Amino acid sequence: MDTELSPDGRWMLVVTAPAQHDDGKAPDVIHYVTDSGYTEVQKARTYVGRNAPAPQSLLLLDLSALKVWPLSTGTLPGIKDDPLKVIRAQTVAALEKAGHDDEAEGLKAPAVRPVTIANDGSGGGIVWSDDGEQAAVQLRAIDNKDRWIASVDFAKHALVPQDRLHDDAWINWSFNDFGWEKDNRTLWYLSEASGWSRLYAKPLDGKARALTDNHRFEVSMPALSPDGRWFYLLANKVAPYSYDVYRVPAGGGSLTRVTHYEGVDGFMLSPDGNRLAVLHSAPYLLDQLAVQDAAGGMPRELTDTMKSAYTAHHWIQPQFVEVPSSHGAGVVYAKYYGPANEADAPASHPAVIFVHGAGYLQDVSKQETYYIREQMFHNLLVQQGYVVLDMDYRGSAGYGRDWRDAIYRNMGHPELEDLLDGKAWLVKRHGVDPKRVGIYGGSYGGFMTEMALLRAPGQFAAGAALRPPADWSTYNDEYTSNILNSPQLDPEAYKTSSPIEYAQNLQDPLLIEHGLIDDNVMTSDSIRLYQRFIELHKKNFWISLYPLERHDFEHAADWYDEYRRIDELFQTYVKPVEAGSGN
């Protein structure tokens, strides 16, 4: 039970939910290397479609009168609609035809869709005005097709809808910040209603208006200045890969650029609103802290945490490039790593495509990369004669709602189209041998490596899949049900999107590497796919298991072994050419 007390202490909003019961179907994570010397078993998370988030309710408490009222969600617009009506009807009909009437009955749509009290990005789904006279609540449908912001009518003990955001695919995990302006009667919030995250304001009794111009870039981290005159925002206005702090008048207008780093990761206003603390980074620069005037001007650097041996090294700076899409997606932004003078490179040379993880993550930016080790590995690959391409395929962050939603019910398909366009670009623009292109990545990148080899056999000389989901029906509910719905309701989406369903197509060398105590992507995914390859009499596939590693590796020896094996895979199957070719 969560509670939020009004600043004046009179009112309290209480979030309640029924107790969830363990269905007993959580998988085990088995530890073979232990201090005790005995095998130890640990329960992990449940699979998607089991123990989904519990529906939540709101209670309004008057602490002075000692009275309690439930706040009904029935007045929220669209709360009684079924956005999955068509899919539901198809699945129910198939179940009834097969004689599974009980399962079909279990998929019946609720009269009022259950909700959770959504997190606003800073810790809670309830925000009180400074004077304590108003409260706003953010609610999210458990099917994640709708997000509502509502105010509370204390006299009528009711929710008053202020904004509804609907998405036929799923509401973003990001861009859900909201709060009150200084007048205590106007709400501000972020919304992807236009297709891009924009900042809006809405008086409680008025119409919503956009505070930022109609644009095709993202704004995030809104912060209202203490005097209420300005909103400060992080935006990639100059280019999708370039992030800086901007400000806009609280009444709306044009954005004014405040910082000029192109790689801002975060910021905070001083209590008086006159200065700005800025975290900034670059491809080979970890986060550093600076301070500057809130209106702009030259920053003063406060930290220098980089080791001299690292900064003195001659690292290959990524080139930010645009790969044309042959599938109507415009361009795909990417980072290209190649030799300083490509004229010295062989006429036809090998390449490696790196696929970032998480799906919804942006790796093509001028900020520091999450993949610091991989970036160093890319430097090694270039020294060995490869070129490397790192793409923000469809589904990645930073490019608007439609880019994200493109993978709905179809994971691994639009992304593969983009990766193949990347390969074609390498061949055309950089003289890459189309028969000598490798691919690798971890987590979602491992999933995409498997999809690339299994759905486009012959396109890649070899692939390394690190900690890859091979069957989305065994992943968690929070992530997977947003993109593929539940496996009970939408089994076709899971079949379409899971590498194990395409195992019969394997013909190119595949290395699978997985931490044996991974409690995020279960190791059983890789083991089951490996067994399927055995049953299909496939060749040239390997698995390397790491008994001490979870999803994120921690031990230096394991990191070394993991990338040694990837390097050897590429040296064996990607780099070679016929003797006497001159390459």
Give residue-wise pLDDT tens across range 433-479. 999 999 999 999 999 999 999 999 999 999 999 999 999 999 999 99
76/138 Cα distance (integer angstroms) = 11
What mean pLDDT do residues 368-393 have?
Answer: 97
pLDDT band at residue 22 under the 50/70/90 scheme: low
- Encoded tokens for 95: 């179940």
**Which range marks the domain in which residue 1 is found?**
1-18+54-167+176-202
426/433 Cα distance (integer angstroms) = 9
Specify the pLDDT at position 1. Answer: 66
Specify the pLDDT at position 26. Answer: 82
pLDDT digits (tens, 9 = 90+) for 81-103: 999 999 999 999 999 999 999 99
- Residue 393 counted as domain residue: yes
What mean pLDDT do residues 363-388 have?
Answer: 97
The CATH number that applies at residue 560 is 3.40.50.1820
462/458 Cα distance (integer angstroms) = 9
> Among the listed ranges 245-249, 325-329, 346-350, which one has the minimum average pLDDT value?
346-350
Residue 343 DSSP label:
G
Specify the pLDDT at position 301. Answer: 98
What mean pLDDT is reported for the chain?
A: 95
pLDDT band at residue 582 under the 50/70/90 scheme: low
- Residue 231 counted as domain residue: no
- Residue 248 counted as domain residue: no
pLDDT digits (tens, 9 = 90+) for 394-426: 999 999 999 999 999 999 999 999 999 999 999
- Residue 338 counted as domain residue: yes
- Residue 32 counted as domain residue: no
> Does 133 lie in the same domain as 5?
yes
- Encoded tokens for 578: 């016929």
250/177 Cα distance (integer angstroms) = 16
User: What's the number of domains the chain is made of?
Assistant: 2
- Inform me whether the pLDDT recorded for 537 exceeds 70: yes
- Residue 432 counted as domain residue: yes
pLDDT band at residue 347 under the 50/70/90 scheme: confident
What are the backbone angles phi and psi of residue 87, rounded to the nearest 5°?
Answer: -65, -40
Share of the chain above pLDDT 90, in %: 91
- Inform me whether the pLDDT recorded for 124 exceeds 80: no
- Residue 154 counted as domain residue: yes
| Angle made by CA atoms 299, 302, 306, in degrees to the nearest 5 | 115
> Does 561 lie in the same domain as 430?
yes
Strand bridging mode 126-128 / 115-117: unpaired
Helix axes 372-383, 556-573, angle to 10 degrees: 40
pLDDT band at residue 123 under the 50/70/90 scheme: very low
Specify the pLDDT at position 578. Answer: 56
- Residue 426 counted as domain residue: yes
Q: Is 477 left (phi over 0), alpha (psi -120 to 50) or beta?
A: alpha
Q: Which of 138, 131, 135, 114 is nearest to 56 (CA)?
A: 114
Specify the pLDDT at position 52. Answer: 81
| Angle made by CA atoms 296, 211, 263, in degrees to the nearest 5 | 40
Specify the pLDDT at position 121. Answer: 45
Residue 490 β-bridge partners: none
- Inform me whether the pLDDT recorded for 342 exceeds 60: yes
Residue 242 β-bridge partners: 239
> Does 8 lie in the same domain as 137?
yes
CB contact at 8 A, 176 and 221 = no
* 166: three-class secondary structure by DSSP: strand
568/145 Cα distance (integer angstroms) = 45
Specify the pLDDT at position 316. Answer: 97
